[in-house]
Amino acid sequence: EAQVTQNPRYLITVTGKKLTVTCSQNMNHEYMSWYRQDPGLGLRQIYYSMNVEVTDKGDVPEGYKVSRKEKRNFPLILESPSPNQTSLYFCASSLAGGTYEQYFGPGTRLTVT
Amino acid sequence: GEDVEQSLFLSVREGDSSVINCTYTDSSSTYLYWYKQEPGAGLQLLTYIFSNMDMKQDQRLTVLLNKKDKHLSLRIADTQTGDSAIYFCAERVDNYGQNFVFGPGTRLSVLP
C-alpha cells in the first residue's frame, strides 16, 4: 500500500530534550516536506527536500533541523524543544512533476512541557 | 509574504450546496489545491486547478478560479454528512521548488 508513515504518533517531552520524528514514504517520491498545524493558522511549511541531500527552509524553520540521506526517509529533528513547538506535525511527499499532489502522513502530536 | 485566507467555519444543511471561499496573494502560482482533512487524519487531495483554467468540475465538486481577484472557491453539491471535515486551500508558490502555502482551513459542518 502506498503510504507515508510517521513515528511516533504521539509524544510528550520536556523542554530541551532532543527528539526526532521519523517520516518514511514507499512511493519513490523525490519531494518531501514537513508541516506544523496550529489552530487558526492552518499548515505552515517547516522544511522541504527536493531530493537526497537537497533541503531548503520553508516558512517556519527556526528550531528545527532535517536531513535527507535516503530518498524514502526525511526525519525532523528538534535539538532543544520548547513549549512553542507544541503542535501537530505532518510529513508529506510528492512526485517532482505533474500536479505535485502531496501525500500526507497521519500526523504526530507533540507536546513540550 | 504569500498569504492564503479562508473563513474558518461553515454550516450547511444536508442536501444543500456548500461554497468554501479562498483568497491568495501570489499571482504567479501555477497550481491551486483543495485538501480535505477528516478528524484525526492527515490531509488528502480533493481537487486542484491549474492557473490557466477558470473552472474545473469533478462529480459533485466545482472549482472556480478568478485570477484577477485572486479568488478560489470550492462548491460541493448535495452536501452529505460525510463531507463534514476541514477544507484547506493551498497554492504552490515556487515554480522551481516545493514551497506551498496553506490557508487556515474551513471547518464544514453538515447538519441533518
Report the first-to-last Cα separation within chain B, whole angstroms. 40
Asked if the model's pLDDT at residue B97 lies above 70, the reply is: no
Could you report the per-residue pLDDT of A16-72, keeping only the tens digit for each?
999 999 999 999 999 999 999 998 888 999 999 999 999 999 989 999 999 999 999
Q: What is the DSSP letter of B89?
A: E
The reply to whether A95 touches chain B by the CB within 8 Å rule is: no
Q: Are A7 and A21 in contact (CB under 8 A)?
A: yes
Share in percent of chain A as helix, strand, coil (round to 5): 5, 50, 45
Residue carrying C-alpha cell 491568495: B24
**Option in B1, B88, B92 nearest A42 (CB):** B88
The reply to whether A61 touches chain B by the CB within 8 Å rule is: no
Binary contact (A104, B99; C-beta < 8 A)? no
The whole-angstrom distance between residue B22's C-alpha and the CA centroid of its chain comes to 7
| CA quadruple A56, B87, A24, B94: dihedral, nearest 10 | -20
CA distance A23 to B107: 27
Q: What percent of chain B has pLDDT over 70?
A: 95
Dihedral sign, CA of B22, B25, B27, B33?
Answer: negative
**Option in A42, A101, A102 nearest B105 (CB):** A42
- State the nearest Cα–Cα gap between A15 and chain B, in angstroms: 26
Could you report the per-residue pLDDT of B28-47, keeping only the tens digit for each?
778 899 999 998 888 999 99
A71: number of Cβ within 10 Å: 15
Grid cell listed for B36: 480535505
**Option in A56, A94, A106 nearest B42 (CB):** A106
- Which among A35, A46, A100, A109 is the top mutation candidate for probing chain B, defined by the most B β-carbons within 10 Å of its own β-carbon? A100
Per-residue pLDDT, averaged over A72-76, amounts to: 98
Q: What is the pLDDT of residue B96?
A: 63
**Option in A4, A40, A50 nearest B8 (CB):** A40
Phi, psi dihedral angles at B71 (to 5 degrees): -125, 130
Partners of residue A92 in chain B, C-beta under 8 Å: 42-43
Partners of residue A59 in chain B, C-beta under 8 Å: 1, 101
Of residues A61, A67, A50, the one with CA closest to residue B96: A50
* Size of chain B, expressed as the number of residues it contains: 112
Of residues B88, B104, B106, B23, the one with CA closest to residue A41: B104
